[in-house]
Amino acid sequence: MGTTIDLNLQDGVARVTFRTENGIHILDAQARSQLQDVLARLESEENCRVVVFQAEGRTFLAGADIREMHQLTPATAREYSREGQHLMRRIARLPAVTVAAIHAPCVGGGCEMALCCDLRLAAASTRIGLPEVSLGMIPGWGGTVRATRLLGPAVARRLILTAELLDAETALRIGLLDAVFSDDQFRAAIDQRVAQLLTRAPQAAATSKRLTRAFSGEHADDELFAQEANEFGNCFQTLEPSEGMGAFLDKRPPNWEPKPSSS
């Protein structure tokens, strides 16, 4: 069974929980469909003030489904990117304050989802990053745009081009995370932060969130997201995604040497 997503709404707090039998949560087509349904409910919920995205198991989110992406063509890759961008933008535009409670590795599409949240709070042992370049492609669900907005172009380039998974303290230092807590205190710290958020004036918080989005230029990013999706599709005009994801699935190092053309 794949990733399931549960929604629990109580006392103004919505907890969106990712679960999988093996503890490795993947945003495959089925999970993305479930998440769309969850977001539709949250968008219509007037009494929701805080949304916590959390997970149980070995990962927070391990990203997109590599086997799914391995089948993409340039045209379907652009559609795949636009679908993911739309999903992430729904998270970013939720009126409630959103918290990514990252207890374990947060990778690729999982990191892109965390970038959509207002606060990214992590356990000390977690690792986080955008490793897409190591697979022959680029972040395609808004990651290039949001990382640059949040971190600045120099730090975003370093994050994306190295494809490294950063430890929590490094991610905190560059601004990718907002706070880091010891593993044994993590859940209690999240509950404490949520309780703190609930003491703030709800309309003032919603207005502040709306204005900071507007002032950051997010509403003008449509063209940038379209460009990202186009370039994500262009990656699949090369052999790099096939080699990179094939190597990942085969558990071997990728070979980036140009393939000889057939005569």
Does the pTM exceed 0.85? yes
Q: What domains, with CATH codes, occur in the chain? A: 4-184 (3.90.226.10)
- Please give the pLDDT value at position 263: 43
Give the long-range contacts of residues 3-11, CB within 8 A, separation 24 or more.
Answer: 3/27, 3/28, 3/30, 3/31, 3/34, 4/31, 4/34, 5/31, 5/34, 5/35, 5/38, 7/38, 7/41, 7/42, 9/45, 9/48, 11/198
State the pLDDT at residue 212.
86
Under-70 pLDDT residues of the chain: 1, 217-220, 259-263
